[in-house]
Structure 1
C-alpha cells in the first residue's frame, strides 16, 4: 500500500495489537479466477513465525482457495477505525485558509504464502480456536463440542482451512501527524465530540501519538 513516511508503523507489537483488534479481515489474492477477496474472521498467532501466523477458513464453494492452493502470495488487510477530517477542526484555519478535508485511518497489511488445509483434525482445531476466541467473556461460552459430532463432521467437509505465515507486514496510522500540535488536538477533540462511534474510536487512537 502507499504509505507516507510519517504514517508508517514498524513496531511489531503495535501491528499485532491492531490485527488482534480487527474482528473481520479481508483476504485478497490473484490467480486463475482473477482478483478475489473474501471477508473472514481470522486467528492471529503472534508467537508463531517471525511476524506471526494467521489461521482461518473458507467455504469449499469459494473458488479462492483453489487459487491459493496453486501457490503465490496473498494479502490480508486488517482495517481499523477511520474518519473524515474536516478543515473546521484546525485552529490554524483562522490564520491560513489553505486547508482541505482529508481522511484519517489505521490499517495493517500482512503478506505471505497460504497453506490450504483439508485434513479434518487441524481444520477442527482452527474452528475450535476461532470459536473459543469469540466466545470468551460470555456467561456460557459455546464450544464446538456442544454440537453433535456428525453434524460438525458435515460442516467441516464444507470448508477448507488456511494458514498464512506472514513474510511481510506494513502498518499505517494516518492520524494528522503532518499537522501542528494545536491542529492535532483540534482533530482529536472534533472526532471525540462526534456522534459517530468510529470517529470516537479514532480520537482514542490519536491519544497515543
Structure 2
C-alpha cells in the first residue's frame, strides 16, 4: 500500500482499536494463480506475537479457505469510513483538486486452519462473544450443543498471527489547519459515513 509520511499510522494501540472497530474485513489470497477475496467477520486478539492474531471463518462452500493452510502469506484489509472531499471546501479552491479521505489498515500473515472441532467451537464462541457483547439479550454459543456442532461443520475456521501491519489515515493532514476544519464542518452536514470521517479528522487535530 502506498503510504506517504503525512498519512502513516504506526501506533499499535490505535491500529488495534481501528481493527476491532471495523471487524468486517476483506481477506485476499492467491488461489491457483488467481487473486481471490472474501468479505468476512474477523476478530483481533492482542496476543500472542508482536502484532496480535486474527480469528475468522469461511463458509465451507467458499473454496478460498483452502488457501489458508499455512502455505502462503495473505492480506486482510480493515476499512473505515471514507468520503469525497471537494476543492470548494478549501480556502483556495481555485488551486486545489478533489480527493478522497479514508482510513484503512492492512494486516499480513500466514494463516492456519483450525481443524480440531473443539478448537473451532471455541473460535466461533469467541467471535459470538465479541459481536453479541454483554447485553442481557445477547445470544451465546453452546459448544456442547449437538445441533450447534453440526452447524459448525459447515464452516472452516482459521487463525492468523500478524507479521506486518500498515495503517493509512488519509485525513487532509497535508493541508492547513483551517482547511482541515472547513472540511470537517462540511462532512458533519452529510451522511453518517462522512460524519465518521469528520470524527476521525477531529480526533487527529486534537492530538
The TM tier, using the shorter chain, reads over 0.9
Query: In the alignment, does 2:160 pair up with 1:164?
Result: yes
Deviations 1:65-101 (A, max 9, x none): 11221611000000001010011111233xxx11111
The equivalences for 1:138-177 within 5 A come to 138-145=135-142, 149-177=145-173
3-state SS of paired residue (1:168): strand
1:34 alignment counterpart? 34
CA distance in 2, matches of 1:67, 1:34: 11
Whether contact under 8 Å (2:114, 2:120) holds in the other structure is yes
Whether contact under 8 Å (1:115, 1:162) holds in the other structure is yes
Deviations 1:117-170 (A, max 9, x none): 12101100010011011111433111112x982211211211111101000000
Structure 1, unpaired ranges of 5+:
none
CA distance in 1, matches of 2:13, 2:2: 21
Superposed CA RMSD in Å reads 1.4
1:56 alignment counterpart? 56
What is the TM-score of this pair, normalised by structure 2?
Answer: 0.94
2:110 alignment counterpart? 113
Q: Say which of 191, 200, 205 aligns to 1:205.
A: 200
3-state SS of paired residue (1:179): coil
Deviations 1:7-49 (A, max 9, x none): 0111111111100100301110013262111111111001221
The equivalences for 1:44-123 within 5 A come to 44-69=44-69, 71-93=71-93, 97-123=94-120
3-state SS of paired residue (1:72): coil
Whether contact under 8 Å (1:33, 1:64) holds in the other structure is no
3-state SS of paired residue (2:48): coil
Query: Size of the alignment, in residue pairs?
Result: 204
1:59 Cα offset (Å)? 1.2
What is the TM-score of this pair, normalised by structure 1?
Answer: 0.93
CA distance in 2, matches of 1:59, 1:192: 38
3-state SS of paired residue (1:2): coil
CA distance in 1, matches of 2:179, 2:56: 41
Structure 2, unpaired ranges of 5+:
none
